[in-house]
Amino acid sequence: MAMPLTMVSAGVETTVKKVGGKDEIRRFLGNLGFVEGTPVTVISQMGGNLIVHVKDTRVALSMGMANRILV
């Protein structure tokens, strides 16, 4: 069962199952590397905002954006 990226603990590697939201949001997240089947690791979580390792780079995401990424 898929859950939002915000529910993943720091240090855990998981795989993107689906990216939700409007077309422009999905395109934006896809350009950052969040596409189905891509491994992602949550580096840290502070105040609901996440720092995530995806495709050899670190990306900071707001809670709203991270909730659209299902893993």
The whole-angstrom separation of Cα 27 and Cα 11 is 26
Indicate the number of domains in the chain.
Answer: 1
> Which residues form the domain of 17?
5-70
CATH number at residue 54: 2.30.30.90
The whole-angstrom separation of Cα 35 and Cα 69 is 9
pLDDT number for residue 1: 82
Laid out side by side, the sheet with 13-15 consists of: 13-15, 39-46, 49-54, 57-61
The pTM (predicted TM-score) of the whole model is 0.93
The whole-angstrom separation of Cα 39 and Cα 19 is 13
Confidence band of 6 (pLDDT split at 50, 70, 90): very high
Residues 13-64 pLDDT 10s: 999 999 999 999 999 999 999 999 999 999 999 987 999 999 999 999 999 9
